[in-house]
Amino acid sequence: MASNLAANSIRGDIVLFNHADQYRAIKKMISRFSLAKLNLFEVAHWMDSGLSKNIIYPSFALKKHLRKQGWVIPHGINLKFAVEPCIDKNSNLFFAGRLTKDKGIDIALAACKKIGCKLILAGPDNKSDYSKSILNDPSVIYLGELDYSQIFSQYYHSRGQIYLTQYVEPFGLSVIEAMAAGSPIITTGLGGTGETVLEGRTGFFCSTVDEIARAYEKLDTIAFDDLVSRAKDFTVERMARSYLDLFLST
């Protein structure tokens, strides 16, 4: 993408592509030392967006929530794709991410207890009272922090991914990683997960323990090919092409 930008930019153009939380500081620093026109774009992340224009949202849900004008370009990621269905899946549900209440880990645990399966967790332990109560439960298997290949293996072998975000999730990259590994999704559908997951085709939307238990029984109805095909809609190559088209048209 950088080479294409260079070929299509004129001398003096600056494109600042910021996917972090330091937009205001970066803008001020560059403006101080440059007389060139600044073409600034910010990817809206979490619940804050520093710009009033040229905002790129990873989901329509976040754009609606923040109520500022901009474009929607879903995130993309370098993915490993499963080539065939797993023949020895276990009965457990897997989650990788922050072990915090806004990720709905306590609800996932309650559901796993009702179902009678284990909740497999991977991610940093912030040592909070909340995480301690979760990790000390006998229905939980905590794997610590894993690299991508290890996470992929967990997705591939688990019955499904459980991703119960309790807020307007900007996007939810781990959902894409799970589908690429052939793992069906149980999620609330809040924020970007309601756009990436196709109800009944790549996963199920649930908000209560009983709904999760019913969805668990239907996970085997999700087709492997549908999961992998959907994940291919969110590659880094597709995202880069969309960004480039936007940059060159504005």
Domain boundaries, the chain: 2-76+235-249, 93-233
Q: Is 22 exposed, middle or buried (0-12, 13-18, 19+ CB in 10 A)?
A: exposed
103: pLDDT strictly greater than 70: yes
Q: What is the pLDDT of residue 9?
A: 54
pTM of the prediction? 0.86
Residue 113's CB is within 10 A of a number of other CB atoms, namely 17
Q: CB within 8 A of 38, min separation 6: which ones?
A: 14, 16, 27, 30, 31
What would the two tokens of residue 123 be?
A: 């991610």
68: pLDDT strictly greater than 90: no
Q: What is the CATH number of domain 93-233?
A: 3.40.50.2000
Instruction: Dump pLDDT digits (tens) for 125-172.
Output: 999 999 999 999 999 999 999 999 999 999 999 999 999 999 999 999
